[in-house]
Structure 1
Amino acid sequence: MNKKFLGLTAGLALFLAACGSETATEESVKVSVGVVSEVEVEVWEDVKERLVDQGIELTIEQFGDYVQPNLAAQAGDVDINAFQHVAYLESFNADNDGDLTHIGYTYVSPLGLYSEKVEDYADLADGAKIIIPNDVTNGGRALLLLQAIDLITLDDAAGTEPTLNDITDNPKNLVITDLDASQTARALPDVDAAVINTNFATDSGLVPSEDALFLDTDNISEVSEIYKNVVATRADDADNETYLKVVAEYQTEATAKKLEEVTQGNDVPAWD
């Protein structure tokens, strides 16, 4: 084989290698999203498959509580997260000097009252023990739920984030205590009732539409927009075109159908 041909072959190989490397770089943009529940992982896996055609490689990281996904996003360990509503995001920023901002809505997830002791919340006995999430926003929403079904009365001045100290009337002398949201479903057997976030309820095998004594979305008109779940990222990345493409792919009919499938219709799309 002559040397000229060998030289051309080697040159062509180097050219193709270089082009291949450049093409791979251009075609694959990596984005990481932090979520909390297995249900959210399943939905985002569906989005991930659809993003491939747009040259976006999505990595999904599941966390075990509501604090770590925001800390990870703030530190840049994940690019975006999708697990929380507006109220919780604002509370996190205020408490942690954060600058996370939402770049698109995902869904509204009901908060439910569950019990293994009674089949109707009206049958809760005097002095019954009830647990609620211990963070300000979900805890406040839980208290508003209990007020909606006339178990307690809250001070009007408390607004959308009441605390246990804002209970002005408790006719059944309910013993209401708070617990990390991720532990409420596990603690259900030990109390008379528990207010549980949908993601933790479904992860524990509960079906909110069937098992809850009451869902606050049963009175959807009274569920504030601050309880819409969102995709969040650092303020400096709020206009990141790739992140916005991820959000746009999430906010599609395909995702709405996936939400319907994996949540049995409990989570309602919130982007329209």
Structure 2
Amino acid sequence: MKKKILAGALAIITSLSLAACGSSSSSEESHDYVVGVASDQQKEIWEYVGDQVKKEGITIDVKLFSGYTEENPALVDGSLDLNSFQHVAFLNNFNKENNADLVPIGYTLISPFGLYSDKIKDYKDLKDGDTVAIPNDVTNGGRALQLLDAIGVIKLKSDAPDSPTTKDIASYVKKITIKELQADQIAAALPDVTAATINTNYVTDQLHTTPKDSAIYIDTDHIDKVNEIYRNVIAVRKEDKDKADFKKIVKAYQSDAVAKLIEKTNDIPAW
């Protein structure tokens, strides 16, 4: 009888020990991460992703930035663990200019890039003497120039790089003036120019409209003319690119449910 009681006690102790080990393991696997985004829509999407990975023991804190200049430095210095706001071209240019080694770990979306105007109803109405505002950073500015080339306003050189600058313009089909402004200031400057190319997050956040409702030309309506380097990505520091938690986060992002959320923001899933 004593042997049975002893055996039962040992079984209970063993069971409790295993439970304690399981609890410790679960705690060790729980990680908190901060992701930086640049629009209210992306904040909403990432909060949804955060809800999905909670069961994996992963917590995501979403930090909203107002422009494009802070997210990568914050990732480099460790203030962020991931960011999700930029396309490949922007990331490559940042790395080049800052001797950084941020890397993409998964595609997110392709954001429409549109031409907007308070003064004309059709891009074909652009004429000599008009002013068109474009972003002053080389990547978004390059996409803007490719848009103007696609609609026959300028002609880029045949050997223009993937992210051209105004130096790569071979000729002005229409003698417009190109005004380069910081990306987050262009929406506010729209009344002062004939037309402007504006990033979609600023269209939705600052103009409170959508490309479909307001743009006079949208480049993703002609997707064959949009370079693949404009697919947006989730970026991390190089040393973290194989982190198991991040693979789970990418998987949670690249889901049918998130694709539907992306389409609601007028963007296109890119995976």
Distance 1:20 1:104, change over 3 A: closer
CA distance, structure 2, for counterparts of residue 158 and residue 125 of structure 1:
24
Task: Give 2:222's aligned residue.
Answer: 219
Q: Give the corresponding residue for 1:113.
A: 115
- Provide the rounded CA distance (Å) in 2 between the counterparts of 1:200 and 1:22: 45
Q: Show the 5 A alignment for 1:56-71.
A: 56-71=58-73
Identity %: 49
Structure 1 residues 226-235 or 197-206, which shifts more? 197-206
Instruction: Kindly provide the amino acid, as one letter, of the partner of residue 118 in structure 2.
Output: E
**1:4 counterpart residue number:** none
Amino acid at match of 2:78: G
Residues 1-272 of structure 1 aligned to structure 2 (within 5 Å): 22=24, 25-26=27-28, 28-204=30-206, 205-261=208-264, 263=265, 266-271=266-271
Alignment partners' CA distance in 2, 1:66 and 1:156? 30
User: Structure 1 244/216 Cα, relative in aligned 2: closer, same or farther at 3 Å?
Assistant: same
Deviates more, 1:89-98 or 1:169-178: 169-178
One-letter code aligned to 2:100? G
Q: Please say if residues 116 and 198 of structure 2, whose CA atoms lie closer than 8 Å, have aligned partners that are also in contact.
A: yes
Contact kept in structure 2, 1:81 and 1:231, CA below 8 Å: yes
Using the size of structure 2 for normalisation, the TM-score is: 0.88
Could you tell me which amino acid in structure 2 is paired with residue 142 of structure 1? A
How far off its partner does 1:24 sit?
7.4
Whole-Å Cα distance in 2 between the matches of residues 68 and 250 of structure 1?
23
- Runs of 4 or more off by more than 4 Å in structure 1? 18-24
Q: CA RMSD in A?
A: 1.8
Which residue does 1:5 correspond to in 2? Answer: none
AA matched with 1:230? V
The code of the aligned residue for 1:247 comes to V
State the aligned residue count.
Answer: 252
SS in 2 for 1:158: coil
- Distance in 1, matches of 2:70 and 2:27, equals 30
Partner Cα separation in structure 2 for residue 186 and residue 42 of structure 1: 24
The offset of 1:189, in angstroms, is 1.4
How far 1:28 moved relative to its partner?
A: 3.2
Where in structure 2 are there 5+ consecutive unaligned residues? 1-16
Question: How far off is 1:104 after superposition?
Answer: 0.4
| Equivalent-residue separation in structure 1 for 2:70 and 2:142 (angstroms) | 21
Deviation at 1:126? 2.1
| Residue 67 of structure 1: how far off its partner (Å) | 1.8
- Tell me which amino acid in the other structure corresponds to 1:211: S
Counterpart contact for 1:31–1:243, Cα < 8 Å? no
Deviation at 1:56, TM superposition (A): 0.9
- Secondary structure of the residue aligned to 1:144 is helix
CA distance, structure 2, for counterparts of residue 186 and residue 47 of structure 1: 32
